[in-house]
Chains A and B, each alone.
Chain A
Amino acid sequence: MEFAELIKTPRADNVVLHRPFHLAVEGTLCLTGHHLIFSSRRHDNAEELWLLHSNIDSIDKRFVGSLGTIVIKCKDLRIIQLDIPGMEECLNIASSIEALSTLDSVTLMYPFFYRPMFEVLEDGWSSFLLEQEFELLSSVTNEWRLSCVNKEFSVCPSYPPVVIVPKSIDDDALRKVALFRHGGRFPVLSYYHKKNGMAMLRSSQPLTGTNGRRCKEDEKLVNATLRTGRRGFVIDTRTLTVAQQARAKGGGFEQEVHYPQWRRIHKYIERFNILQESFIKLVEACNDQSHNMDRWLSKLEASNWLTHIKELLTAACLAAQCIDREGASVLVHGSEGTDSTLQVTSLAQIILDPRCRTIRGFEALIVREWLQAGHPFQQRCAQSAYSNSKQKWEAPVFLLFLECVWQIHRQFPCSFEFNEQFLIMLFEHAYASQFGTFLGNNENERAKLKLPQKTMSLWSWVNRPEELSRFQNPLYEANSLVIWPSVAPQSLQLWEGVFLRWNRPSRFLEEAEEERINIIKYNKELQARVNALRRRLAELEAEDEEVQEE
């Protein structure tokens, strides 16, 4: 298909762009296959706005006389308005944008066309391999092994080709266990707590059904992660009722009789359309320009977003607590094990593992616990909070995770190597990107799409020194401890950086960040100069002494 067919009017002049907190500017609007480009050269400072079509969540048009107005609502939650003279032009442009922003085929997406303008220093597609993780693990324990049972994606279509499992469990057993778990997602290692040798596993629900089916291999697998005489915890992200109801559909939960060494905790985490609705309501509240405080607070409350944040953080803290404080192994799952499960396991690692609070460690976490673990990004992030179309599988699962990281970051502002911008950048790229990283729903799909060969990885770009410097937290000091956040409502805040990003004057906050950077930078410079001078003085003094001795 040629994109040109979809572009009826490629260019319009005298278009006026309106954005909150900016003066309206007049300029030229151009449509290309993947971008909407607005450029204004009228003023001294020429301005360009490039918007990916895939970033457009919805578009409204209206007319006053022959002046058309298009309101574009983006997946990154920004809203812009374009006034386009001429009814026909306006209609054409609107329909082109609509068509181009809702392309069905993945292979037509921008990442397949994007040619980077930067030199690739490191191919991000191979930056984070499970083999490397395993090597690290092997240096502290030999209780685990790397299994290639899923090499052809035949045992579990949503798992990566290699997974880490207890050493004592062979591939045949894994195949049997896969049949006993929803979607074939047998328990695999998510995190190994070096401090006490406890493990966090994740899986999907067991298929016990109504007649209490059991699978000896499954029991053996999970028990293999326990120390003799010790118990473990199953954290089920559903309520007991939901878990019980799941049995009718063939699902279920680990029953005490068959898993006597495990104690089950149900910690409900909201999912799917309820989350998406909450997201939509929150964003709507954030765009309400009313001056009424009651209305704002009641809309914020009604959105329930912060409730979901609190619940998720609590569940993650609980998992971390079981591992670190109770010295117990933990198995986390919900139904499919691709959403709330991953939220919990990845957040628990942020709390427990200092490495996950570094930039590379966090990237590795996202690759391992989200991309390779088969979180269906393409389905979940197909639409954002402005979508008019009926939702199918959309849900802000990943955004909720990022916000929880932000909440912890806010409570421990010196313990993370990355800054808030890094989290916001990941949110943007999960929804629309020039990179192939978040395309597809799992490793199987990514392999079929040949993403590593045909697209550029986000990590190839982010990990370049120029880019990295934008995402570094100037206050960072490596902190080897477990960090326990407070989950009290008083301790949680709305993530302004995402939800009020386009609705607040950001200058003052940016200036503050700049100030922080400068304070640290100046200190480091002085440190270096003082050290250099001291060395120089010591040399001179030594010379001096030599002269005297002679």
Chain B
Amino acid sequence: MEHIRMPKVENVRLLDRLSSRRAVVGTLYLTATHVIFVENGSETRKETWVLHSQISSIEKQATTATGCPLLIRCKNFQVIQLVIPQERDCHDVYISLIRLARPVKYEELYCFSFNPKLDKEEREQGWKLVDLNEEYNRMGVPNNYWQISDVNRDYGVCDSYPTEVYVPKSATAHIIVGSSKFRSRRRFPALSYYCKGNNASICRSSQPLSGFSARCLEDEQMLQAIRKANPGSDFIYVVDTRPKLNAMANRAAGKGYENEDNYSNIKFQFIGIENIHVMRNSLQKMLEVCELKSPSMSDFLWGLENSGWLKHIKAIMDAGIFIAKAVAEEGVSVLVHCSDGWDRTAQVCSVASLLLDPYYRTMKGFMVLIEKDWVSFGHKFNHRYGNLDGDPKEISPVIDQFIECVWQLMEQFPCAFEFNERFLIHIQHHIYSCQFGNFLCNSQKERRELKIKERTYSLWAHLWKNRADYLNPLYRSDHSQSQGTLHPQIAPCNFLYKFWSGMYNRFEKGLHPRQSVTDYLMAVKEETQQLEEELEVLQERLANLQKSQSGNNKVKSKQQDRSKQFGLYTSNNSLANTPQEYSNDLKSFPSRSPSQGDEDSALILTQDNLKSSDPDLSANSDQESGVEDLSCRSPSGGGCLPSEDSGKDSDEAVFLAG
């Protein structure tokens, strides 16, 4: 609280990014956890809530006659442009936000004050939803080849690893410790995924400290042990996910990659995924493209290409495809590493697992996957996503890229995933929101020290509770796409990598399809389920009636009018929209009759949901019910509402503005 210099500013204007002249006036509040903008106007009082932890940058722009503009960019890709009348107020808000957006200790984060009104038991249950022991058992370990090792039980060997790791049975503690000393940050090879069908496995580690010629007997034995754990194959792949040049450069620093000559029966392979700095810049460039005001098609495509973003996504996907193929088709085990083995390695292992095992394509399985490959193996969430104030060079959209890979796969295999796009978007949001404790800190060790499970809530339980919102209507557990390995194509003309506007232009609803097939089908399925229930009741009543007809036993129950109850998806409200600015030529043209009938825009006014961001995500004051009016949930909901049209005089603005 001491950081808030200015808790409230009035007469602030919130600009629409797509049309600078369409602005709304309201009051800006700074609270300990949120920036809140409340629109003036008696009826709607639309609110925009932004968590401090979502703020990635704040920019104070040159003061103009109308006030002092403040540009807030968020990690969930929302961009908010405010104009504050007084320069001094603006400065105070700016200084306050700079501090609020960069907390210095974990205790300042929202998850420590966030209270979803669950009791202790519910909280504990929530944390138990995803259980990695259960997961390894599901995979089929421990077994004859793999065992759990307690060598790291006090984080004594590797402080960024979990306490419980699976290693080949023949790998003794001596071998593990020896190998760990030969690996960056002592991240020794450990099991990530085991394929029950053919004993092939995916293991992960960091780079070896091989320099130009160093060797380590235990490390060689460790890789040998991994090979032996797969008796069907006489070699293993060692996949270095870095570009060869980077790996070679590391040798000069006493690090590097495996020399095939020193290890018996390995096949070494570079994959060429760029490092976190390249990825950070690439995202930056792509977001610049997204922020362009009315870009031409060439501007956009050129910018997209120039950002290299899709190239990087493809590189990660290709690596995953390579590994999945090795495991599933060749039955060969793979050891994956990059430098430290916590970024690219996590991406690639999780993409491969997702391709290999249909379980990870279910909602629960996906949570498990993130927990397994990312959270437990010490992906540095705090550093990468800037939860606490830290080195900006550590920040990089590593897990964002993985999430995008999943989305690209969902586009190619529409029936293969139990969850929908919204699930991915909400996970991405919460990785940055710090509303739940799951992604705090850089390692399991740190989380245990902070007593995360006692002090915060689990995102997984929250998502699970609302799972109806996240279902993919096309998914059936008995469908062929939800069985076995996925085999995506590699060439861009066979596997179209698309720009994900649902993510990167998430808050520009006007750019998205105005009708959601997913929501429509979910509504139909919900109705179908209720019809099934009713059918059963009716059949029973009929049977009773027929039985009792002789006895004149009258069964009466209230008739339900289904058609009224389920009018929801027949509504056309979702279509209400208005034209964009298709031409500048119209603007000076004055003739517009006020009597003109505007049925389509009139419908906009019936929308009661005018929140600019999902209340759930923007952490509304009422956490629980907030989820219920997710603006994009039902097909008749406001999700299809183009953001620029949420005002009353929507269509007027199109012409008179600009």
Binding site for B on A (CB under 8 A): 195-196, 230-231, 263, 265, 267, 285-294, 296-298, 300-301, 304, 306-307, 309-310, 314-315, 317-318, 320-322, 325-328, 410-415, 475, 477, 479-484, 486-494, 496, 500, 503-505, 508-509, 511-512, 515-516, 519-520, 522-523, 526-527, 529-530, 533-534, 536-537, 540-541, 543-545, 547-548
Nearest B-chain residue to A328, judged by Cβ: B591
User: Is B531 interfacial (CB 8 A cutoff)?
Assistant: yes
Nearest B-chain residue to A195, judged by Cβ: B597
Q: Which of B93-101, B390-398, B409-417 contacts A (4 or more CB under 8 A)?
A: B409-417
Is the Cβ of B512 less than 8 Å from the Cβ of A491?
yes
Question: A309 CA to B301 CA in the complex, in Å?
Answer: 14
14 examples of A-B residue contacts, CB within 8 angstroms: A265-B585, A265-B586, A294-B305, A300-B301, A306-B297, A318-B586, A326-B655, A327-B592, A412-B513, A480-B572, A488-B294, A516-B474, A534-B538, A547-B552
8 Å CB contact of A508 from B414, B515, B545: B414
Provide the residues of chain B in CB contact with A545, threshold 8 Å: 554
Provide the residues of chain A in CB contact with B580, threshold 8 Å: 317, 484, 486-488
Q: Which of B107-115, B118-126, B496-504 contacts A (4 or more CB under 8 A)?
A: B496-504
Nearest A-chain residue to B553, judged by Cβ: A544
Is the Cβ of B305 less than 8 Å from the Cβ of A509?
no
User: Is B539 interfacial (CB 8 A cutoff)?
Assistant: yes
Given A297-B305, A492-B297, A526-B531: A479 touches B572 (CB 8 Å cut-off): yes
8 Å CB contact of B535 from A482, A487, A530: A530
Is the Cβ of A307 less than 8 Å from the Cβ of B476?
no
- B160-204, CB < 8 A from A: none
Given A327-B591, A484-B579, A511-B415: A544 touches B554 (CB 8 Å cut-off): yes
8 Å CB contact of A265 from B414, B527, B528, B583: B583
Question: A290 CA to B505 CA in the complex, in Å?
Answer: 29
Is the Cβ of A289 less than 8 Å from the Cβ of B491?
yes
Question: A301 CA to B310 CA in the complex, in Å?
Answer: 14
Q: Least Cβ distance of B543 to chain A in Å?
A: 11
Given A267-B583, A489-B300, A540-B545: A533 touches B538 (CB 8 Å cut-off): yes
Q: Least Cβ distance of A189 to chain B in Å?
A: 21
Q: Least Cβ distance of A358 to chain B in Å?
A: 15
Nearest A-chain residue to B480, judged by Cβ: A511
Binding site for A on B (CB under 8 A): 290, 294-302, 304-305, 308, 310-311, 314, 318, 412-416, 473-474, 476, 479-481, 489-499, 501, 505, 508, 510-515, 517, 520-521, 524-525, 527-528, 531-532, 534-535, 538-539, 541-542, 545-546, 549, 552, 554-556, 559, 562, 569-570, 572, 575-580, 582-583, 585-586, 589, 591-593, 596-597, 599-600, 603, 635, 642, 651, 654-655
Nearest A-chain residue to B414, judged by Cβ: A512
Question: A540 CA to B538 CA in the complex, in Å?
Answer: 12
Is the Cβ of B514 less than 8 Å from the Cβ of A526?
no
Provide the residues of chain B in CB contact with A492, threshold 8 Å: 297
Question: A286 CA to B496 CA in the complex, in Å?
Answer: 10
Provide the residues of chain B in CB contact with A537, threshold 8 Å: 538, 541-542, 545
Question: A519 CA to B475 CA in the complex, in Å?
Answer: 11
Is the Cβ of B591 less than 8 Å from the Cβ of A321?
no
Is the Cβ of A523 less than 8 Å from the Cβ of B490?
no
Q: Least Cβ distance of B210 to chain A in Å?
A: 30
Question: A298 CA to B305 CA in the complex, in Å?
Answer: 7
Is the Cβ of A483 less than 8 Å from the Cβ of B583?
no
Question: A516 CA to B591 CA in the complex, in Å?
Answer: 46
8 Å CB contact of A291 from B300, B479, B492: B492
Provide the residues of chain B in CB contact with A500, threshold 8 Å: 493-494, 496
Question: A524 CA to B654 CA in the complex, in Å?
Answer: 41
Provide the residues of chain A in CB contact with B508, threshold 8 Å: 490
Question: A234 CA to B361 CA in the complex, in Å?
Answer: 54
- Sort A-B residue pairs by CB-CB distance and give the 3 closest, nearest first: A489-B300, A512-B414, A296-B492
Q: Least Cβ distance of A257 to chain B in Å?
A: 19
Provide the residues of chain A in CB contact with B527, threshold 8 Å: 523
Given A508-B415, A511-B479, A515-B479: A503 touches B517 (CB 8 Å cut-off): no
Given A414-B517, A490-B511: A519 touches B596 (CB 8 Å cut-off): no
Is the Cβ of A293 less than 8 Å from the Cβ of B524?
no
Question: A195 CA to B600 CA in the complex, in Å?
Answer: 11
Beyond contacts A289-B494, A477-B569, A543-B549: 7 other A-B pairs, Cβ-Cβ < 8 A, are A291-B492, A301-B302, A326-B586, A486-B511, A486-B580, A488-B580, A489-B295
